[in-house]
Amino acid sequence: MPTLQVRIIRWKVTPSPFLNKEEILKDIILTGDRPTGRLHLGHYVGSLRNRVRMQEEANYDRMYVMIADSQALTDNFDNPGKIRENLIEVALDYLSVGLDPNKVTFFVQSQVEELTELTFYFLNLVSLSRLERNPTVKAEIKLRNFETSLPAGFIIYPVSQAADILLFDANIVPVGEDQEPMLEQAREIARSFNNIYGETFIEPKAVLPEEKIARRMPGIDGAAKMSKSLGNAIYLADDKKTLKKKVMSMYTDPDHINIDDPGKIEGNIVFTYLDVFAKDSHFERFLPEYENLDALKAHYKRGGLGDVKCKKFLIKVLEDELEPIRQRRAQYEKDLDSVFKILEEGTKKAREKGRSKIEEVKKAMGINYFEDKDLIKFLEEKYK
Ligand code: TRP
């Protein structure tokens, strides 16, 4: 008499038609952010800019951008109001940088129930000690003082993140380098699921920004990372006055006291930012006495060039990048109804995909009892 165990093994050798490699012509891109605050220049340089570029290259089948509110709740469970408010702020930031709802499917994590369902099945495939080894989560536990009382939901969030990615068959995940451990775990989970239940998931890969500097934008205080919690961020939604104030307060070279002193470029945040944003055309327009950034740096190093002049130039360069973003944001701010509609429509689309994938998953696991005629046949055989 056949046992169910045997059946599952047989399924393993029948790959799902979706996974036929020739059939995957184009990438499925998925990425997301926790809605815990407005997005800043670090997000912009590290990922948003990249996403807009990918959107324009149009070399994908589907591009999803998810607002990870459920994940944000894993360490903000006692402050849901913060998540509720920032959901729309993040959506506004997405639209303001030029992500286009006609090309990108925006959706809200908590509203796709299939994600929660998949997470529960994935949890069986991961050991607690493996979860405890994730270096990003380790650092976050320290940072949040979770050492003595660690919420179970928090330690397992990488499993939920694996579900975010795998439910949509995403193969490309553009993220910052701190997310690489999450992708690693997602690949392990995909592999483990495929081994046990049969080929169902693609192993996704992280795509990091090419330029090294874009991987970790420093804060205006010179700290290694721009971050909301450190209070050293320039936000996409900052107005002109705020931007100016922040740049004028930027960390430069503490030994560059008199204008005539030679200055240092390394660790000088003004120059770090100019490296990222300044183009030759900016010199033509705003600082024609220098041909390019190399010429400006040379003068600074030699001595005779003041910080204020460099900062004023940087303000103009940043304004050039941020003003169109601000304007687009202002338009959407006046039309919040349509922003919610965009999220709602995108979420609907994401759920359709989620539902069909979860059916595939349940079938692979043999828990699709009511659609499975084989199961009845098997039982009939057993009781014959
Ligand atoms: N963990 C990511 C962050 O903190 C957000 C996120 C949740 C995500 N799910 C994702 C990113 C899936 C990429 C893919 O920024």
309 Cα to the center of ligand 1, angstroms: 39
pLDDT digits (tens, 9 = 90+) for 324-335: 999 999 999 999
91 C-alpha to ligand 1 centroid (Å): 15
Task: Please give all residues whose beta carbon lies within 6 A of any atom in ligand 1, as ranges.
Answer: 30-34, 68, 71, 161, 164-165, 173, 175, 179
- The helix/strand/coil state of 235 is strand
What does the longest C-alpha to C-alpha distance in the chain come to? 98
**pLDDT, tens digit, 9 for 90 and up, residues 51-87:** 999 999 988 999 999 999 999 999 999 999 999 999 9
Q: In the structure, what pLDDT confidence band is assigned to residue 215 with cuts at 50, 70 and 90?
A: confident
Q: At 167, is the secondary structure helix, strand, or coil?
A: coil
Contacts of 116 (CB under 8 A, 6+ apart): 70, 160
Of 10-24, 33-47, 145-159, minimum mean pLDDT range:
10-24
Residue whose CA lies nearest to ligand 1 atom number 9: 161
Dihedral-angle region of residue 267 (phi above 0 means left; psi in -120 to 50 means alpha; beta otherwise): left
Is the CB of residue 321 less than 8 Å from the CB of residue 277? yes
Q: Rg (Cα) of the chain, in Å, rounded? A: 25
User: Rounded mean pLDDT of 133-146?
Assistant: 94
- Spatial strand order of the sheet with 60-67 comes to 105-108, 60-67, 27-33, 172-174, 205-207
| Å from CA of 160 to ligand 1 middle | 10
Q: What is the mean pLDDT of the chain?
A: 91
| Residue 25 pLDDT | 63
Ligand 1: centre distance to CA 33 (Å)? 5
- Give the phi and the psi of residue 61 in degrees, each rounded to 5: -85, -45
pLDDT, tens digit, 9 for 90 and up, residues 357-371: 999 999 999 999 999
pLDDT at 26: 85
Q: Domains in the chain, ordered, with CATH?
A: 27-215+336-380 (3.40.50.620), 228-334 (1.10.240.10)
pLDDT in tens, 288-345: 999 999 999 999 999 999 999 999 999 999 999 999 999 999 999 999 999 999 999 9
| 162 in Cβ contact with 124 (< 8 Å) | no
| Site to substitute for ligand 1 among 40, 64, 156, 161, most atoms within 8 A of C-beta | 161
Residue 248 and residue 300: Cα distance in Å, rounded?
17
Instruction: Look at ligand 1, atom 11, and give the residue with the nearest C-alpha.
Output: 32
- Which of 179, 187, 207, 208 most suits a substitution to test ligand 1, by most atoms within 8 Å of the C-beta? 179
Tell which atom from ligand 1 comes closest to the C-alpha of 170. 14
Q: Is the pLDDT of residue 263 over 70?
A: yes
Give tens-digit pLDDT for 110-138: 999 999 999 999 999 999 999 999 999 99
Give distance in angstroms: CA of 161 to centre of ligand 1: 6
